[in-house]
């Protein structure tokens, strides 16, 4: 579904991605693991075209994304939940929720979204950034689900959240997987990643150094510890 070949990316003069290659099958949940600065977020941003100086190839359902106008990428059915969540403070919760345009059929209805994230129910007129951190994260995920996107890019959804909230997010992500969404997840918290992912890509210094299927995670624990430096 998503296929990346020898992707190089640049912020101005500085070369941040050095030949990333990976692929994601339909319906899979795949994580990108790695230390800070390994290039996980940059990989996500280069899919969306936010990191625009790119070389190599990114194909989504056979279509090349490099060279495509930035606003057309999400319209293919790719939803992006950024690390900083990006809840708009000048918009109410409802406005935030309905902001991203519906790009494909088959998106979830607001009622279905409220079932998945009960915290968002009845908060429609609240200013978006008045929600708690966990609720903002839910809102950031929720607003993508309406759009009919089939591939979801989740950048560190658990960062800075309390364990009980992380659990709730985990439930939601599993529910999404059950619904057939394909998910690429950037995570530092690989315990969380292990509970939901099918495969893990490990990144170091701007490229993929290893791929570990989730069922072999335990066998590779030592290796992983070295990679992540924990």
Partner 1 sequence: MFQLLGIPPQALFGQLLLGLINGSFYALLSLGLAVIFGMLNVVNMAHGALYMVGAFVAWLLLTYVGIGYWPALVLAPLIVGALGLVLERTMLRRLYKVDHLYGLLLTFGLALIFEGAFRHQFGVSGQPYPIPDLLKGGTNLGFMFLPTYRGWVVGFSILVCGATWFAIERTKLGAYLRAATENPTLVQAFGINVPVMVSLTYGFGVALAGLAGVLAAPIYQVNPLMGANLIIVVFAVVVIGGMGSILGAIVTGLGLGLLEGVTKVFYPEASNIVVFVIMAVVLMIKPAGLFGREK
Tokens 């190839």 -> residue: 57
Contact status: 227 vs partner 1 (CB under 8 A): no
Instruction: Give yes or no for residue 90 binding partner 1 (CB under 8 A).
Output: yes
Q: Which of 42, 147, 158, 168 binds partner 1 (CB under 8 A)?
A: 147
Q: Is 14 in the site for partner 1 (CB under 8 A)?
A: no
Q: How many CB atoms lie within 10 A of CB 132?
A: 12
The single-letter DSSP state of residue 196 is H
Residue in the block written with tokens 């992380």:
166
Binding part of the chain for partner 1, among 78-86, 177-185, 194-202, 209-217 by CB under 8 A, reads: 78-86
Pairing of strands 2-11, 53-60: antiparallel
Using CB under 8 A as the binding rule, whether residue 11 contacts partner 1 is answered as no
> Would you list the DSSP string of 146-204?
TTT-SEEEEE-TTTT--HHHHHHHHHHHHHHHHTT-EEEEE-S-HHHHHHH-SEEEEEE
| 147 or 150: CB nearest partner 1 | 147
Kindly indicate which of the ranges 13-21, 59-67, 91-99, 219-227 contains the residues binding partner 1, using the contact rule CB under 8 A: 91-99
Cα gap 120→46, rounded to integer Å: 30
Query: Which of these ranges, 30-38, 56-64, 99-107, 214-222, lies near partner 1 under the rule CB under 8 A?
Result: 99-107
CB 74 within 8 A of CB 48: yes
CB of 143 to partner 1, least distance (A): 8
Using the structure block, give the residue that is written with the tokens 């999404």. 176
Residues 55-74 contacting partner 1, CB under 8 A = 69-74
Part in contact with partner 1 (CB under 8 A); list of ranges 30-38, 47-55, 180-188, 218-226: 47-55
Interface with partner 1: number of residues (CB under 8 A): 24
Alpha carbons 56 and 86: distance in angstroms, whole number: 28
Q: Helices 163-178 and 133-145 sit at what angle, rounded to 10 degrees?
A: 10
Q: Does residue 45 sit in helix, strand or coil?
A: helix
Residue of the chain from 21, 53, 75, 211 that contacts partner 1 (CB under 8 A): 75
48: which 2 tokens?
């969306």
Judged by CB under 8 A, the residue of 9, 34, 100, 107 near partner 1 is 100
Instruction: Tell whether residue 148 is a contact of partner 1 (CB under 8 A).
Output: no
Residues in 105-124 that interact with partner 1 by CB under 8 A? none
> Which of 15, 63, 64, 99 touches partner 1 by CB under 8 A?
99
Closest to 131 (Cα-Cα) out of 162, 160, 140: 140
Enumerate binding residues for partner 1 (CB under 8 A): 48-50, 69-75, 80, 82, 86, 88-91, 95, 98-101, 103, 147
């Amino acid at each position: 579904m998503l296929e990346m070949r020898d992707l190089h990316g640049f912020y101005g003069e500085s070369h941040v991605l050095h030949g990333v290659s990976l692929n994601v099958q339909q319906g899979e949940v795949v994580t990108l693991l790695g230390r800070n600065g390994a290039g996980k977020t940059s990989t996500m941003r280069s899919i969306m075209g936010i990191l625009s100086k790119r070389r190599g190839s990114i194909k989504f359902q056979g279509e090349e994304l490099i060279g495509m106008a930035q606003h057309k990428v999400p319209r293919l059915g790719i939803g992006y939940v950024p690390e900083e969540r990006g809840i708009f403070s000048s918009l109410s919760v409802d406005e935030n929720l309905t902001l991203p345009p519906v790009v494909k059929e088959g998106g979830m209805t607001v009622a279905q979204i409220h079932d998945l994230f009960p915290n968002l129910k009845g908060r429609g007129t609240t200013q978006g950034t008045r929600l708690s951190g966990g609720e903002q994260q839910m809102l950031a995920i929720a607003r993508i689900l309406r759009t009919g996107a089939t591939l979801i890019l989740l950048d560190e959804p658990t960062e800075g959240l309390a364990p009980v909230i992380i659990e709730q997010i985990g439930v939601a992500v599993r529910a999404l997987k059950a619904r057939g969404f394909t998910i690429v997840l950037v995570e530092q918290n690989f315990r969380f990643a292990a509970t939901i992912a099918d495969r893990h890509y490990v990144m170091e210094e701007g490229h993929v150094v290893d791929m570990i299927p989730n069922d072999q995670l335990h066998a590779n624990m030592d290796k992983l510890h070295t990679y992540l430096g924990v």
